[in-house]
Amino acid sequence: MSPEEALAHFVVAHPLAEVPADALRTTRRVLLAASSTGVAGAGEDGVAELRALLRERGGTPQATTLVFGDRMPAVAAAQLNGTMCRALDFCDAMAPGPHFGAALVPACLAAAELRGGCSGAELLAALAVGCEVGARFNLSERQYDGFDPTGIAAVFAATAGAARVLGLDAAQAQRALGLAFNRCGGSFQSHIDGTLGVRLLQGWVAAAGVEGAQMAQRGLTGPLNFLQGVYGFPHLYGRGTLAPGDVVAGLGREWRLQRMMFKPYPSCGATQGLTELVLALVQERGLTAEQVAQVEVRQPPYSHRLVGHPFKLGANPRVDAQFSAAWCVANAIVRRGSTLDHFRPEQVADPAVLALVDRVHTVGDPAMDERGHTAVDVIVTTADGTRHTRGLDIAPGFPGRPLSDAQHRARFADCMAYAPRPLAPGRQTALLDGIEQVAGLADARELLALLVVR
């Protein structure tokens, strides 16, 4: 088989029984993260406006929106749900930046409704192959070079998952993945400028996954040689440094989805390590904002370009804070923590935090590339001239430092405490149990019913 054929065959036919237990555990955590952040993100900027726009457009009521319970065309429901799942930037991710679950889970749930239901085992298999396909299209920092990795890699994840749920055959799945290739796009400039484009792109990716699978099911075609072709993915996005065979090497045996990460703090992945270091110093030394004369943050250039720019309070304060190393440091010192509540617009603009932001300086250090994507050093200088230096190479939640089950439950609890329309306690328990035992559900739509607030 060609690499494209091998990938399509994997999408539609890889048995759930042959997915390793640890990969299935990661997949269930992806489902948990997307579900909880989708509920918590229902009140965020842009959601009401997007919901109103999609309702105005109308269409066949095929699928359900999270929280609100609207019935919309499947593509529209996936778009709104994907936007909500990413609105808090607290979903799963993978270095150097794609977010899969916030697009994949909405796409698969919408596809399940289109199909008239599917078993929990079928949903779990679709999520597993979707995460794996997305991981195999993930690139390096140099290859992305400013492209938003979610817009490049996650569109394949969402399309693969939807194709599996809809029951496409291998030829149809290959066409769907070719269509996904033609939908790749997006820039990190959305993050740097603090715009809603970050979360809107996630919704577009979810919608593209459903739409591509639907189109392929109807016989519409995309490029078949999206890996081997002269203008295929390795040339355009791999920048000529990616071999087509690399995408499918070890497929079904080596599970790259195990590179997934889950954040303990609700901000960009490039801020996880520095937040942990600062919180540790605050706890160890009892530091207060008044004692801090200056903080220096040193990161690899890729991370620094994403979160090291000077903090500016703009039209979307949550995004401004999520993607600011300086703000995350100041928040951790002032509030001695980092929770979803801290990123509310009024909290982002807290004068006590902003006063300290001006004393945080960031540096992009090329020598730190050798230490890894999440490497960071923090030097806190106090008013008496004492310097406190801390550093790490692997941030919490990344491969090598996974979160515990208790930490995943804490993430869920933070989302429910923050949500403007939280699930009732009984529904929360049922959702946690349903996700843990998803493979045994007769109909995956049982989970979706729990995610609508009555």
Domain positions in the chain: 3-264+402-450, 269-392
The domain covering 3-264+402-450 belongs, at the CATH homologous superfamily level, to: 2-methylcitrate dehydratase PrpD (1.10.4100.10)
CB 29 within 8 A of CB 92: yes
pLDDT at 454: 80
Residue 424 neighbours by CB distance under 10 Å: 12
End-to-end CA distance of the chain: 49
pLDDT in single tens digits along all 454 residues of the chain: 999 999 999 999 999 999 999 999 999 999 999 999 999 999 999 999 999 999 999 999 999 999 999 999 999 999 999 999 999 999 999 999 999 999 999 999 999 999 999 999 999 999 999 999 999 999 999 999 999 999 999 999 999 999 999 999 999 999 999 999 999 999 999 999 999 999 999 999 999 999 999 999 999 999 999 999 999 999 999 998 999 999 999 999 999 999 999 999 999 999 999 999 999 999 999 999 999 999 999 999 999 999 999 999 999 999 999 999 999 999 999 999 999 999 999 999 999 999 999 999 999 999 999 999 999 999 999 999 999 999 999 999 999 999 999 999 999 999 999 999 999 999 999 999 999 999 999 999 999 999 999 8
Q: What is the pLDDT of residue 384?
A: 95
C-alpha to C-alpha distance for 434 and 440, rounded to whole angstroms: 9
CB-CB contact of 297 with 376 (8 Å) = yes
Report the distance separating Cα 135 and Cα 149, nearest Å. Answer: 11
CATH architecture of 269-392: 2-Layer Sandwich (3.30)
Residue 434: half-sphere exposure toward Cβ, Cα within 13 Å: 23
Count of Cβ atoms closer than 10 Å to residue 294 Cβ: 14
What span, in angstroms and rounded, lies between the C-alpha atoms of 155 and 179? 10
* DSSP collapsed to 3 states, the chain: CCHHHHHHHHHHHCCHHHCCHHHHHHHHHHHHHHHHHHHHHHHCCCHHHHHHHHHHHCCCCCEECCECCCEECHHHHHHHHHHHHHCCCCCEEECCCCCCHHHHHHHHHHHHHHHCCCCHHHHHHHHHHHHHHHHHCCCCHHHHCCECHHHHHHHHHHHHHHHHHHCCCHHHHHHHHHHHHCCCCCECHHHHCCCCHHHHHHHHHHHHHHHHHHHHHCCCCCCCCCCCCCCCHHHHCCCCCCCHHHHHCCCCCCCHHHHEEECCCCCCHHHHHHHHHHHHHHHHHCCCHHHEEEEEEEECHHHHHHHCCCCCCCCCHHHHHHCCHHHHHHHHHHHCCCCHHHHCHHHHCCHHHHHHHCCEEEEECHHHHHHCCCCEEEEEEECCCCEEEEEECCCCCCCCCCCCHHHHHHHHHHHHHHCCCCCCHHHHHHHHHHHHCHHHCCCCHHHHHHCECC
The CA-based angle 341-347-351, given to 5 degrees, is 155
Angle at 452 between CA 346 and CA 29, to 5 degrees: 80
Parallel, antiparallel or unpaired: strands 92-94 and 260-262:
antiparallel
Q: Count the neighbouring beta carbons within 10 Å of the beta carbon of residue 16.
A: 15
Q: The tokens of 373 are what?
A: 């994507």
CA atoms within 13 A on the CB side of 145: 6
Q: Which residue has the tokens 């930037």?
A: 89
Amino acid, res. 111: A
pLDDT at 165: 98
Q: Are 411 and 261 in contact (CB under 8 A)?
A: no
Burial 334-346 (b: 16+ CB within 10 A, else e): bbeebebebbeee
Strand partners, 212: none
- Tell me the whole-structure pTM to 2 decimals: 0.96
**Which amino acid is residue 306, in one-letter code?**
L
CA distances from 352 to 183, 241, 333, 339, 356 (A): 43, 47, 10, 17, 7
pLDDT for the residue numbered 203: 98
Chain centroid to CA 296:
28
Backbone angles phi, psi at 292, to 5 degrees: -90, 120
Burial track 98-116 (b if 16+ CB lie within 10 A, e otherwise):
bbbbbbbbbbbbbbbbbbe
